Amino acid sequence: MRGQPSPHEIPAKSADVGRTEFQVRRSDREWEIHHRVPGDRHPVAEAAGRAGSRVAGTSGPYILSDLRWQGGPLYLRYGAFAPKPTLTTPDGRQVSDRRGTTFSVPDWAPVPDFIAEAIARRASDKDSFPFDVHRALHFSNGGGIYLAADQRTGRKVVLREARPHAGIDRTGNDAVQRLHNERFVLAKLNGLDFVPELYEHIRVWEHHYLVVEYIEGETLERMFVDRCPLTHPDPSADELVDYTEWVRDIVGQLETMLAEVHERGIVLADLQPTNIIVRPDGRCVLVDFETSFEIGSTADPGLATPGFSCPTARTGTAIDHYALAAIRMYLFAPFNHWLHLASAKAEEAADLIDTFYPVESGFGAKIATALHTHAGGTLPAGAAGGAESRWPQAPASDTAVWDNVLDSIGDGILAAATPERIDRLYPGDIEQFGWGRIGLGLAYGAAGVIYALHACGRRIPDEHLEWLVDKTRNATDLGFGLYDGLAGIAWCLLKLQREEEAREFLARIPDRPFQCDMQPNDRGVHSGAAGIALTFLQFGDHQRAIEIGTELAAPSMDDPHLVRRPPALPGLLNGPSGLAHLFHRLFDYTADSEWLEAAERALWLDLAGIQTDHGIPFLRSDKGNRMLPYLAEGTIGTALVVSEHLRYRAVPQFSDLLAGMRRLCRPRLTIAPGLFEGRGSMIMYQALRREPTDQHLLDLSWHAMNYRGHIAFPGRMLLRLSTDLATGSAGILCALHSAVHAPIELPGIPFDLHGESCETATKHSKGGE
């Protein structure tokens, strides 16, 4: 059971707790009740009754996955409080502890009468809902946005949901307060043809809904991704002209719309590409007015979108004018996303715009000037300065020049280290603090940074290596995965010739990792069984690797969703392509051609969903709304495994796909610089295939920044500098070193793509039969 914290501390002296029959343990967002009830009374009912009486009358958000006890804010659920993702069935199997948007109890779990009664009351306590919901358009803590049909009229509508006490912003307003504000603003803007019509405001049960006009079209963000020529290979002059005219039209519309909104006395306060719908006929419509306010109000918007807001432009119409200037830059060159780190990037963006687009002289500079103007005269300098003045304009073959860059990146990583902290050694993505990772793993933690520095020839400070070993040895809730757990840490230490500690940590991994209670059913390379099997191979434990591989290769596993659980995406580290790489390694050891058959089946699981965009085969997310041209998830990683497979067997369809995939690395513009999901993916792919990398090395300067006099890079979402392997400087160090010197070996990623030919390998595979 758990409850929402009230504004008042719950009185629970230690002496009282010792005598009572339940214990309250407070945490930041919830508290738990652990029963100590003797005798025949049901412990949960007794504990709930006592706890409920203590918090009765306190309001709080409804926990969708739980069952509310009486009037709340006490909740109960069947499962674990601690972050343990599985439950143990009566026959000893580990199954997922599912936490969805409704309360549920496993089929095999007993349901006491008092809980069954509460479930029945909840089922009967429902208001009629006069809409048929077709699909969710967006989810947030405060509520969802849904496409629906009105049962009374048949009209297609959008429902904007708000849950009480949820989605609290920095000003203390919850989702319901913002919904009431949006209702007021929509009424003020009624009649404008670029604002959806408000039909009604209804309350169903405890949730509020605005029923608004459905606008057919795509978000401006999606339009940018699909249309921007610099995100596609080899754009023609006509494509650049057409796109430039389209941007001018979009920005012109927004200027006119903004003037009309301001005439109505409203500041939008969150003008950004996902809040702009472009109709099929090209007309723009504004949506999402929850943070809007009246001109002259002292209101402070509680929410803002990074890249389209500025701390020095947070009052009045300046908020909107800055956002419009940022949109203008974004549509040509999305450097606005990292201006908060280095404002000098505005001038770099200006140069890029003038260089690539058919615009008048100084056009880019006007865009940069507008950002400075609407930021109050000049953009805040940011935490990091640009490093472009030191960026070489030299080919990868000029190793002496690029060695200076490699040294600076390595120095920047070491300068950012914090061995005095207990939670992490190097700054990186927030994922390093996820459950089962605790700042140690290969992808986001210390192991990945240490390995990258070592592989690139840097000496690792003893204090850093001992930090990794000590923290791993004392960790009790560390996962087993290759990129986020013990397997990857063991792999790293083996490469650093710390074999004793490496084998110590490897011994903590169970024989059947995908049936343990840490990462159930995860069969991928990143966190699951395939990555662990590859680690066993690295350590010479071939039998354990074969046992895992045999289960993964079973025909019953021929479903991509058995490899990657949502929200994992297709590709190398989380999809079936990673299994294919494992099967290749098992073939290398056994010469059994059945592994090649399994590898081919696994590759087709990913390739079956491939689509073509601008003549390039692309993997997309399951929902189809994201192209994935990356190493960890998407086409580049899969292309490496396809290339690897062609060393063993000639598969004409694979050869044709690979020819198209090679154009993946031709676009000039990437949003992020990182190894797993950015320009680093493209550099590593070209380096592994011994293809030219010169252009990407030059363009990497667009993301390069200054940290204490050294080169550094922003991580995922470009919110902060990162040093980790997946998103930050360590991964870029590996990619750059691979391009300038020799490819860096990374676990689970095809490394030697220049062995025997597929014809020779085919003879070898027949010999293995």
- Name the DSSP letter for residue 570: S
Q: What are the backbone dihedrals phi and psi of residue 327, each rounded to the nearest 5 degrees, phi first? A: -65, -40
**Closest Cα partner for 60 from 7, 122, 115?**
7
Q: CB 229: neighbour CB atoms within 10 A? A: 23
Q: Which amino acid does the sequence have at 542?
A: H
Q: Which amino acid does the sequence have at 214?
A: Y
Q: What are the backbone dihedrals phi and psi of residue 324, each rounded to the nearest 5 degrees, phi first? A: -65, -40
- Three-state secondary-structure class, residue 32: strand
Structure tokens at 579: 């299994």
Q: CB 707: neighbour CB atoms within 10 A? A: 24
- Name the DSSP letter for residue 360: -
The residues pairing with 285 across neighbouring beta strands, listed in sequence order, are 277
- Name the DSSP letter for residue 282: S
- Three-state secondary-structure class, residue 646: coil
Residue 734 in contact with residue 455, Cβ under 8 Å? yes
Structure tokens at 613: 């965009």
The alpha carbon dihedral of 190, 194, 199, 202 has a sign of negative
Structure tokens at 272: 């950004």
- Three-state secondary-structure class, residue 68: strand
Residue 122 in contact with residue 103, Cβ under 8 Å? yes
User: Distance between CA 549 and CA 462 in Å, rounded?
Assistant: 37
Q: Please write down the HEC assignment for all residues of 163-221.
A: CCCCCCCCCCCCHHHHHHHHHHHHHHCCCCCCCCCEEEEEEECCEEEEEEECCCCEEHH
Cα angle value 43/46/48 (rounded, 5°): 105
Q: Which amino acid does the sequence have at 752?
A: D
- Give catalytic status of residue 606 as yes or no: no
Q: What are the backbone dihedrals phi and psi of residue 610, each rounded to the nearest 5 degrees, phi first? A: -75, 145
**Closest Cα partner for 167 from 142, 140, 138, 139?**
142
**Closest Cα partner for 530 from 583, 490, 571?**
583
- Three-state secondary-structure class, residue 388: helix
Structure tokens at 199: 């039909």
User: Distance between CA 746 and CA 443 in Å, rounded?
Assistant: 11
In Å, how far from its chain's centre is CA 61? 26
Among residues 97, 169, 270, 320, which one is catalytic? Answer: 270
In Å, how far from its chain's centre is CA 350? 29
**For residue 543, with 0-12 CB atoms within 10 Å meaning exposed, 13-18 middle and 19 or more buried, which class applies?**
exposed
- Three-state secondary-structure class, residue 138: strand
User: Distance between CA 682 and CA 676 in Å, rounded?
Assistant: 9
Structure tokens at 411: 């120095």
**Closest Cα partner for 322 from 331, 305, 311, 310?**
310
The residues annotated as belonging to the active site are 270
